[in-house]
């Protein structure tokens, strides 16, 4: 690679700084679109590029899944704090204030990275990533590598399914909870509880995956997902829904750390699919569709994994 991941991270985040500046001062849609374009650079830096740097550094450790567990755990607290901070900022100031919050956070991240992480990356060339790079020199090589590696192959199935959950939840949960309780606060309560349980479970799930295997972790995920989604599909009371949500959250923690050990690629059709499905079905029926989809997707993944492993 010509550029180096650290420089790609800094460059992306520097362009990302334009997002809050342009979006908050938008006077027309074009300016907002350019702002969103800059945001994509910041997002890519903090997402894909950051993941690559993080994976390079933890790849030499034995407790990869546990470290990932801590990372996601911190992420889950930060996500909640961020959302609350955004709400508070816009209540206290104007709707522009949350963007200034993003600006401050981006600057802090940049400084932290340049002062504390960048010197370490320069001093210590990472060899693990070079090996990976050799495998992925071209597109067809990457595809071949994924199909030949049983771990990456099972990931195609399970991750397609679990990524769909990320987009399904924010649409379906509030809708279902409101229809059950007729109170908006119930959504906040369920999401809060799910976040709290994930925060504590993530390091434990990580330790489990490190001690056994990511495939064992995915098996636990599978059990929790299927049980919880069927529970959600037939939930007719708030308590059953809450239990279903908590079990789903535990499933997610096992999935997150297992996948962190296997690696990453994404799919984003699920929000559109959920929206479309809701036009024709009730929320219970959509949950049922996701339950069946999860059940079949994971099962196929495991079958193919076993066949490829032989």
Partner 1 sequence: MAHRVLRRDTKVIIYLILISGLGVMAGSVCYGEKIEHLFSVFL
146 binds partner 1, rule: CB under 8 A = no
Per the document, the length of the chain is: 310
Residue 57: how many other CB atoms lie within 10 Å: 17
**Contacts (CB under 8 A) with partner 1, residues 69-98:** 70-71, 74-75, 77-83, 85-87, 89-90, 95-96, 98
Minimum distance, C-beta of residue 138 to partner 1, in the bound complex (Å) = 29
269 binds partner 1, rule: CB under 8 A = no
Minimum distance, C-beta of residue 152 to partner 1, in the bound complex (Å) = 23
Closest alpha carbon to 167 in 293, 78, 74: 293
Q: CA 5, CA 25: separation in Å to the nearest integer?
A: 31
CB-nearer residue toward partner 1: 191 or 290:
191
**Helix (H) and strand (E) counts for the chain?**
15, 0
Number of residues interacting with partner 1: please give it, by CB under 8 A: 48
Minimum distance, C-beta of residue 86 to partner 1, in the bound complex (Å) = 4
CB-nearer residue toward partner 1: 30 or 139:
30
The structure tokens listed for 139 are 């597109």
266 binds partner 1, rule: CB under 8 A = no
Q: CA 294, CA 158: separation in Å to the nearest integer?
A: 8
Return the range that interacts with partner 1 (CB under 8 A); candidates 101-109, 224-232, 256-264, 293-301: 101-109
189 binds partner 1, rule: CB under 8 A = no
The structure tokens listed for 63 are 């407790």
Minimum distance, C-beta of residue 81 to partner 1, in the bound complex (Å) = 6
15 binds partner 1, rule: CB under 8 A = no
Site string for partner 1, 29-58 (x = CB under 8 A): x--x---------xx--x---x--xx--xx
101 binds partner 1, rule: CB under 8 A = yes
Report helix, strand or coil for 27.
coil
The structure tokens listed for 124 are 């210590």
CB-nearer residue toward partner 1: 1 or 27:
27
- Residue-wise over 233-272: b if at least 16 C-beta within 10 A, else e? bebeeeeebbbbbbbbbbbbbbbbbbbbbbbeeeeeebee
Closest alpha carbon to 156 in 262, 309, 243, 250: 262
Closest alpha carbon to 265 in 171, 169, 151: 151
Cβ neighbors of 274 (< 8 A, separation 6 or more) are 164, 167, 168, 171, 172, 286
List of residues contacting partner 1 (CB under 8 A): 23-24, 26-27, 29, 32, 42-43, 46, 50, 53-54, 57-58, 60-61, 67, 70-71, 74-75, 77-83, 85-87, 89-90, 95-96, 98-99, 101-102, 105-106, 108-109, 112-113, 116-117, 120
């Amino acid at each position: 690679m010509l550029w180096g991941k650290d420089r790609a991270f800094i460059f992306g985040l520097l362009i990302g700084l334009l997002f809050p500046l342009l979006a908050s001062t938008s006077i027309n849609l074009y300016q907002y679109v350019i702002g969103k374009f800059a945001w994509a650079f910041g997002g890519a830096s903090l997402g894909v590029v950051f993941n690559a740097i993080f994976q390079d550094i933890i790849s030499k450790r034995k407790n990869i899944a546990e470290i990932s567990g801590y990372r996601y755990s911190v992420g889950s607290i930060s996500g909640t704090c961020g959302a609350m901070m955004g709400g508070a900022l816009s209540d206290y100031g104007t709707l522009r204030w949350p963007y200034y919050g993003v600006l401050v956070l981006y600057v802090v991240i940049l400084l932290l990275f340049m002062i504390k992480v960048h010197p370490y990356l320069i001093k210590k060339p990472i060899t693990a990533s070079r090996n990976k790079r050799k495998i992925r020199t071209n597109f067809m090589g990457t595809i071949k590598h994924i199909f030949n590696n049983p771990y990456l192959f099972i990931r195609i199935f399970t991750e397609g399914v679990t990524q769909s959950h990320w987009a399904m939840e924010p649409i379906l949960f509030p809708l279902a909870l409101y229809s059950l309780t007729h109170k908006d606060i119930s959504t906040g309560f369920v999401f809060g509880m799910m976040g709290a349980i994930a925060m504590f479970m993530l390091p434990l799930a990580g330790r489990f995956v490190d001690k056994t295997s990511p495939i064992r972790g995915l098996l636990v995920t599978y059990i929790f997902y299927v049980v919880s989604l069927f529970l959600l599909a037939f939930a007719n009371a708030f308590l059953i829904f809450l239990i279903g949500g908590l079990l789903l959250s535990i499933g997610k923690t096992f999935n997150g750390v297992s996948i962190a050990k296997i690696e990453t690629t994404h799919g984003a059709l699920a929000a559109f699919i959920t929206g479309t499905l809701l036009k024709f079905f009730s929320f219970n029926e959509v949950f049922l569709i996701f339950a069946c989809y999860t059940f079949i997707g994971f099962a196929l993944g495991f079958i193919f994994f076993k066949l490829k492993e032989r």
